[in-house]
Amino acid sequence: MTNENTLLDNMVTLVIDGKEVAVPAHSTVLDAARRLGIPIPTLCHYAKLIPVGACRMCLVEVEKMRGLQTACTTEVRPGMVVRTDTPEIRKARAANLEFLLTNHPLDCPVCDKGGECELQDQTFIYGPGKSRFIEEKRHKAKARILGPYVIMDQERCVLCRRCIRFLEEWADDVQLGLFERGRLTYVDTFNGEPLDTPFSGNTVHICPVGALTSRVFRFSARSWELKHTPSVCVNCAVGCNISLHTKYNRLKRIVSREHPDVNDEWLCDRGQFDHRAADGTLRITQPLVRKDGELKPASWEEALARAAEALRDAVGQYGPAGVACVGSAQHSNEANYLLQRLARGALGTNQIDMAAEVPARARLLPTTRKLEQSDLVLIAGLDLLDAAPLLELFARHAGVMGCTRFIIVGTERSHLARFGRWLQCRPGTEAAVINGLVRAILQSGRARAAAGLEQLQAWMEPYTPAAVMHAAGVPEGELLEAAEALAQAQRPTILYGGARAGDAVLRGALGNLALICGAEGPALVPAQANAIGALDMGVSPAFLPGFQPYTDTRALDRYQQFWGRRVPAEAGQGLRAWRGQKLPAALVLGEVPAGLRADFLAVITSWKAEVPADVDVVLPACAFTEADGSFTNLTGRVQWARAALRPMGESRPAWWILTQLGARLGEAGRWNFSSAEEVFAEIARCVPGYEGLSYGVLGEAGALRKLEPERLTVYEAHVSLAG
């Protein structure tokens, strides 16, 4: 009841166009009008940017205030009376548009923004019927290349400053500015330097007119000709929501879909402009079989039969240890699930692994917006911009807004260090630095209560500031200042991952730090799109799907019932063991890991670059743009990526390829999948954490899988201090 009263106390009631509305205090008149569904035009305003009131299109009348007021910057007051549609307002809006159009090139028929242009829409609704100006239009730079992905047409610019404000407030890359004055004002980069921010595509996204356009999409289609297919980006583990825009079975552009718990409405340039999937020169488009020492085109029947025969012979001659199956953190849950089912059910082996080293039951971020909700974030041994660019964007925004401070522990300076401190250490000594922080906090007496603190204090005794400085190179004063900041933090978050995701000692040290700081636990940021999902599906020699151990006889019986096959109860070997030997046969989904050698090698891949010289059979898989599938992102959110294009050449979905292989390995009566949706239905029935999910449940927003993370306990985390 107290919360309800507090909420009511913070509400402000006002009247707009005769309608009463209550909105939270500090809202603007524009917010209140939109709550009522009353349209107020804007050009400079953008919901995710700080209002500036520059375009003057949102002018309204407010009783007892002189002149017209900008709705986007005027804060509501109790009893305020607002009018949004009067002769004076209509005259002001028409005048603003008339002045904007005096020098606007009016090249809508060739402008990429045609059909999506806010100036075009507002001119139709609020603008004058014709211009009174007959003078020649002012000319500025056209088709100026700002960077690798963005082109600027200065004549079309309405000086809303959205692009500049996004780079200042979100990307923290101040690369665009206003130059000259008055009628000569234009937007450009400083000193003609290229616009090389990793988030430049968002300036195109939020530009209200055709001033900033995409070099990838430019002049390739009209907006109304495009078919929109909701999907998920697979360039990293954030799993940004995207829309694939296609025409005549060709990918024309990738744009963001808004999802507040994933990517908000932003994309990195890698996700927005990566059209490799549509590039036939990079793709494998037909099955290949080695004949007379050379890879030659073959039919699907020949390639599948050859692969199945070799795998069957290897098991027959060498037993289950004679074959290895390698999953992929870049492929869908459906493909990885079927691969491990083929290994365990059809081939009778637990020899299955993947190149991505991801700890089982790792703690995950509850939402990608967690960094903005934290007052302090520690990032250890992780290049956040490389591993998860959108997390970096949210972190930069939090830093710019003054919400969050950062402690970076690593060898390379991060952009985020400017919002806190960088504990620069020698390669491989991050765990020693973390142990030093743990010891300093324990010594200060401000550690949060947790079981095993006395034992932890004994373990951490050697990691004095002097010893850590000797081993890692971090000055004693900087270490102690960072420890003080961690001890004071009220909402700390700890991140690790990327190439160091498999470092058990670093993970244990960070777990100790989380325990004594009150953090929920060190959150994993994997480098690959579906590293979490592939592990959930059981692509590991150490456990069954859902992290069920081989010692769990009920789990073994359950899968035997599901699959109609005896499931081997002995753990298999993994990539580390395979790299020291030459296997009789191997089946690889995606890229072949370095050091993996086999007498017979079959690869399921989309890319020519992933085909090694010694491969025997290549089975061409569809790219993510051509096949339905689900991916589990770094928060545990399962999302559905829909097919937008027909398969290129003779390529087929990876789940189909594995189904056909299974049929030729004796699973024909047990594998009755005719779609990716049917494969996911089986996943939902038998993989713990995915119960009750379906493509219908996932929809366009996805759903969180439910798997309990590993419980935090004190960990010795011993590392050498030899220096």
One domain, residues 521 and 560: no
Burial of 32 (0-12, 13-18, 19+ CB in 10 A): buried
Do the beta carbons of residue 154 and residue 212 sit within 8 Å?
no
Confirm whether 105 is domain-assigned. Answer: no
**For 72, left (φ over 0), alpha (ψ -120 to 50), or beta?**
alpha
Query: Is residue 602 within 8 Å of 617, Cβ to Cβ?
Result: yes
For residue 3, name the pLDDT band (cuts at 50, 70, 90): low
Report pLDDT digits (tens) over 394-431: 999 999 999 999 999 999 999 999 999 999 999 999 99
* Domain span including residue 56: 2-85
Q: How many CA atoms lie within 13 A of 392 on its CB side?
A: 24
Rounded Cα distance, 408 and 424, in Å: 8
DSSP summary character for residue 322: G
Residue type, 332: S
Q: Would 127 be classed as within a structural domain? A: no
Mean pLDDT of 275-295: 92
Write the single-letter amino acid at 216. V
Domain membership flag for residue 679: no
| Co-location of 330 and 398 in the same domain | no
Distance CA 643, CA 647 (A): 9
Q: What's the confidence (pLDDT) of residue 132?
A: 86
What local confidence, expressed as pLDDT, does residue 491 receive?
95
Q: Each residue of 617-666: pLDDT tens digit?
A: 999 999 999 999 999 999 999 999 999 999 999 999 999 999 999 999 98
Per-residue model confidence (pLDDT) at position 642: 97
| Model confidence at 530: pLDDT above 50 | yes
Residues 6 or more apart whose CB falls under 8 angstroms from that of 656 comprise none
> Residue 129 class from Cβ within 10 Å (0-12 exposed, 13-18 middle, 19+ buried)?
exposed
In a domain, 102, yes or no: no
The pLDDT of residue 669 is above 80: no
Q: 278, 311, 338 — which closes off a domain?
A: 278
Q: Is the dihedral of CA 316, 317, 320, 322 positive or negative?
A: negative
Q: What confidence score (pLDDT) does residue 10 get? A: 86
**Residue 546's pLDDT is what?**
94
| pLDDT exceeds cutoff 60 at 322 | yes
Do 501 and 429 share a structural domain? yes
The confidence score (pLDDT) of residue 2 equals 46
Distances (CA, A) of 337 to 211, 352, 603, 699: 46, 11, 17, 21
Q: Is residue 247 domain-shared with residue 262, that is, in the same domain?
A: yes
CA–CA separation, 485 and 481 (whole Å): 6
Q: Which two tokens stand for residue 571?
A: 């753990």
Residue 94: inside a domain, yes or no?
no
Amino acid making up residue 199 = F
Q: Are residues 372 and 520 in the same domain?
A: yes
Q: Return the C-alpha torsion angle 456, 458, 460, 466, nearest 10.
A: 160
Spatial separation of the C-alpha atoms in residues 351 and 584, rounded to whole Å: 12
Question: So what's the pLDDT on residue 710?
Answer: 86
Query: How many other C-beta atoms lie within 10 A of the C-beta of residue 593?
Result: 17
DSSP states along 94-118 = HHHHHHHHHH----TTT-TTTTT-H
- Domain-terminating residue out of 525, 547, 564: 525
Same domain, 374 and 519: yes
Q: Is residue 397 helix, strand or coil? A: helix
Q: Nearest to residue 721, comparing CAs of 509, 393, 505, 472? A: 472
Considering the domain architecture, whether residues 519 and 489 belong to the same structural domain is answered as: yes
- H helix or E strand, kind and range, residue 317: helix 300-318
pLDDT at 353: 96
Write the CATH number for 494. Answer: 3.40.228.10
Q: Stretch 133-142: mean pLDDT, rounded?
A: 87
* Number of CB atoms found within 10 A of residue 224's CB: 8
For 332-352, b/e burial (b = at least 16 CB within 10 A) is: bbbbbbbbbbbbbbbbbbbbb
Q: In CATH, what number is assigned to the domain containing residue 307?
A: 3.40.50.740
Of the candidates 710, 58, 711, 618, the one whose C-alpha atom is nearest the C-alpha of residue 286 is 618
Dist CA 319 CA 324 (whole Å): 11
Average pLDDT, the chain: 94
Query: Which CATH number goes with the domain that contains 76?
Result: 3.10.20.740
DSSP structure string for 529-587: TTHHHHHHTT-SSS-BGGGB-TT-HHHHHHHHHHHSSPPP-S----HHHHTTSEEEEEE
Query: What's the structural domain count of the chain?
Result: 4
Phi, psi (rounded to 5 degrees) for 373: -95, 0
d(CA 153, CA 218) in angstroms, rounded, equals: 12
* pLDDT tens digits for range 463-483: 999 999 999 999 999 999 999
Q: For 313-319, what is the mean pLDDT?
A: 94
What pLDDT score was predicted for residue 137? 87
Backbone φ and ψ for 640, nearest 5 degrees, come out as: -100, 120
Whether 324 and 411 map to the same domain: the answer is: no
Is 690 a member of any domain? no
Whether residues 382 and 252 share a domain: the answer is: no
Q: What is the edge-to-edge ordering of all strands in the sheet holding 19-24? A: 19-24, 11-16, 81-83, 59-62, 69-70
Q: What is the mean pLDDT of residues 433-459?
A: 93
Q: Are residues 654 and 617 in the same domain?
A: yes
* Cβ atoms < 10 Å from Cβ of 360: 13
Is residue 196 in some structural domain?
yes
What phi-psi label fits residue 168: left (phi over 0), alpha (psi between -120 and 50 degrees) or beta? alpha
pLDDT at 1 (0 to 100): 43
Position 134 scores a pLDDT of: 83
| Helices first, then strands: H and E counts in the chain | 22, 28
d(CA 494, CA 364): 10
Question: pLDDT tens-digit profile of 561-590?
Answer: 889 888 998 889 999 999 888 999 999 999
Residue 363 banded pLDDT, cuts 50, 70, 90: very high
Q: Is the pLDDT of residue 698 over 80?
A: yes
Between 669 and 572, name the one with better pLDDT: 572
Range list of β-strands (E), 621-694: 629-632, 637-641
The mean pLDDT of 379-385, rounded to a whole number, is 96
Helical H segments across 22-86, by residue range: 29-36
Residues 331, 200 share a domain: no
Q: CATH number for the domain including 149?
A: 3.30.70.20
Whether 490 is in a domain gets the answer yes
Mark whether 616 and 500 lie in a shared domain. no
Half-sphere exposure of 464 (CA within 13 A, CB side): 4
Domain boundary among 506, 525, 544: 525
DSSP bridge partners of 116: none
